[in-house]
Amino acid sequence: AEVTVAAGETVVRDFALTEEALGLDEIIVTGTPGGTQRRAIGNAVTAVQAAEVTENVSISTVQDLLAGRSPGIQFTRVSGNLGTGSSIDIRGVGSFAVGGNPLIYVDGIRVNNSIETGPRLGDMKEVNPLDDLNPADIESIEIIKGPAASTLYGTEASNGVINIITKRGSLGAPVFTLTTKMGQNWYKDPRTDWPGSYYTCNGTGTGGCAAGEIRGVNVFQNDYDDHGMVHFRNGMPYGTTGTVSGGSDAVRYHFTLGWDRDQGPVPNNDQGRLDARANLNWTPRDDVSIDFGFGAIRTELHTTTGRQPARVTGFHWSCPGGTNGCERGTGKPNALDGPFRGYIAYLPDLYDELLDSGQRVNRNIYSLTATHRPTDWLTHRLVVGLDDVNTEGFRINLHSSGRVGISSRQGRRTVEHRSTDNISFDYSGTATVELGGFELATSSGAQYYEKSSQWLSGDGRNFAVPSLQTISAGERRETSDGISGNKTVGVYVQEQVSWQNRIFVTAAARGDDNSAFGADYDFVLYPKLSGSWVISEESFLAESDLFSSLRLRAAWG
């Protein structure tokens, strides 16, 4: 509506607002040279509005944030210990030879996605770097599930892409928020709810059992009744996060400072995290915007170790006769009235003192995005970033076999220092031309990614006395070190044709070269073709009440 206001006068114009569904007009930034409407994308992109979730639900990790909120994403945990993570599969396992984890981006820069960063818990490393991030820092998460992602993200994107978008400042006076959380972590009561925690009386009248007695005895219940021992706890996760956000037309800011301390139900399983994030948005001119992001993360994890999930399942077996160090037919020395109180090897009251495993993380993430719009029809953008990760993994086992009371010269200590840098560079430009009812958007870009890692590990075994826990004090000492590097360069071109903002056809091609290909290997070509049709806006359905919105899409890549 046009309103004329004469000098010195005031005019009031009333108007009404009505609701309109804008789901198809949501802007998607993942898998596109810039931002584009969801309606124009032919491949599957799931968006999780993380800020809305964390406002109403206490979320400790990014994996917990995604679990159950994005169809097709699977987290396969191999440990129930606090602080451990899992591999991530999008639409199932795509390869048994190549790592299955999707690529992970934070504000457009690629970050470390390897699960090989944690201590060895049993036979594998189980700490996922995705969980270093504070869910309270995240505005939304966009996930590409199809192989068409390779056209814009390269060789390693066939397993999908997870793009984490952090919170930004908004126009207005500073707004301060303070959020606290508190909860509990616990197991089922092992005295009553763990039917597998049995010592078997085999009818021989030995090992603390009556003659002819054949029954199972819950060793945890026996410890509680006869010795007053409680081996588990109600762990308390608690934390505080504070933010300040605001800004003007030229500068906007968002700062976050968070502290978390989580306790698991096992006494030696806990994790602490201190994180800070600063996001600054500067608009020096109407056609230029610069976004800078910095995130600092410090974590320390202590957890159990051993080939078995030892505290929970590794020490409550019977000795059925002549196995695991037991005297055949008697159950000794693991009898209920023996030194092991019916446990096969691990005494829970000693376990916390003998075994410790964990990881310390010092991680910094830097991102810089510069966008320039010299004309109404041309936009180009540069994104550069660095993910610098330094970890120290450690494992202490004062009895190298994992069992107590075997011999005096045992014990093992392993320490690994690892430094990993992920450098990314992404330049793209898009030119848009309108021809009648058609709109043509031509995009091209170049990307460079480099990952370098170096590590040094030491291992010492067989200590003279338990108080000597340095690697140099071990009777057997070993060290190893290594470096690895990987570089990828790719260029792509894309053409998108749309008709009256309802029908979209996109074709693209990308060429990649990777340092692992070898000097004589040519570029690998990744083509893509997709289509999208918002059929509910066609005249033959627009007046129908059958569908509020209906879109047909397809993608090949």
Most confident of 10-19, 120-129, 281-290: 281-290
- Rounded to an integer, what distance in angstroms lies between the CA atom of residue 250 and that of residue 185? 46
pLDDT at 317: 41
Instruction: Write out the E strands in 183-328.
Output: 198-204, 211-218, 238-247, 251-263, 270-285, 288-303
DSSP state of 326: P
- Rounded to an integer, what distance in angstroms lies between the CA atom of residue 267 and that of residue 186? 11
DSSP state of 473: G
- 3-state DSSP of 162-174: EEEEECCCCCEEE
Residue pLDDT, tens place only, 468-519: 778 888 888 999 999 999 898 999 999 999 999 899 999 999 998 888 777 7
pLDDT at 250: 94
Long-range pairs, 523-529, Cβ under 8 A, ≥24? 524/155, 526/150, 526/151, 526/154, 526/155, 526/557, 527/151, 527/557, 528/148, 528/150, 528/151, 528/494, 528/555, 528/556, 528/557, 529/505, 529/555, 529/556, 529/557
- Rounded to an integer, what distance in angstroms lies between the CA atom of residue 195 and that of residue 203? 20
Residues facing 96 on adjacent strands? none
- pLDDT(308) > 90: no
Q: Which of 297, 86, 263 is nearest to 185 (CA)?
A: 263
- pLDDT(298) > 90: yes
pLDDT at 472: 85
- pLDDT(252) > 70: yes
- Rounded to an integer, what distance in angstroms lies between the CA atom of residue 261 and that of residue 269? 11
What is the pTM assigned to this prediction? Answer: 0.83
| 523 compared with 398, residue with greater pLDDT | 523
What tokens were used for 376? 């109404």
- pLDDT(37) > 50: yes
Q: Which of 415, 441, 420 is nearest to 429 (CA)?
A: 441
Residue pLDDT, tens place only, 420-443: 999 999 999 999 999 888 999 999
pLDDT at 62: 85
pLDDT at 352: 65
Report the pLDDT averaged over residues 305-319.
43
CB 406 within 8 A of CB 474: no
Instruction: Please tell me the chain's helix, strand, coil percentages from 3-state DSSP, rounded to the nearest 5.
Output: 15, 50, 40
**φ, ψ for residue 255 (rounded to 5)?**
-120, 140
Residues facing 172 on adjacent strands? 247
Residue pLDDT, tens place only, 46-66: 888 888 888 888 787 888 888
pLDDT at 313: 41
The reply to whether omega before 129 is within 30° of 0 (cis) is no
What tokens were used for 19? 């609701």
pLDDT at 43: 83
Helix (H) or strand (E) segment spanning residue 447: strand 438-463
What tokens were used for 91? 């639409």
pLDDT at 494: 93
**φ, ψ for residue 438 (rounded to 5)?**
-95, 150
What tokens were used for 292? 């800078």
**Mind giving me the DSSP string for 390-404?**
EEEEEEEESSTTS-S
What tokens were used for 109? 């820069």
Report the pLDDT averaged over residues 337-363.
74
Residue pLDDT, tens place only, 202-250: 666 666 667 766 666 677 777 888 888 887 888 888 999 999 999 999 9
- Rounded to an integer, what distance in angstroms lies between the CA atom of residue 510 and that of residue 494? 9
pLDDT at 202: 63
Helix (H, G, I), strand (E, B) or coil at 24: helix
CA quadruple 517, 521, 522, 527: dihedral sign: negative
- Rounded to an integer, what distance in angstroms lies between the CA atom of residue 295 and that of residue 413? 32
Q: Which residues contact 115 (CB under 8 A, 6 or more apart)?
A: 85, 86, 87, 101, 125, 126, 127, 128, 129
- pLDDT(417) > 80: yes
Q: Which residues contact 149 (CB under 8 A, 6 or more apart)?
A: 31, 43, 157, 158, 160, 161, 557
Helix (H) or strand (E) segment spanning residue 64: helix 62-66
Give the C-alpha distances (Å, rounded to integers) separating 278 from 110, 167, 229, 275, 366. Answer: 18, 9, 47, 11, 10
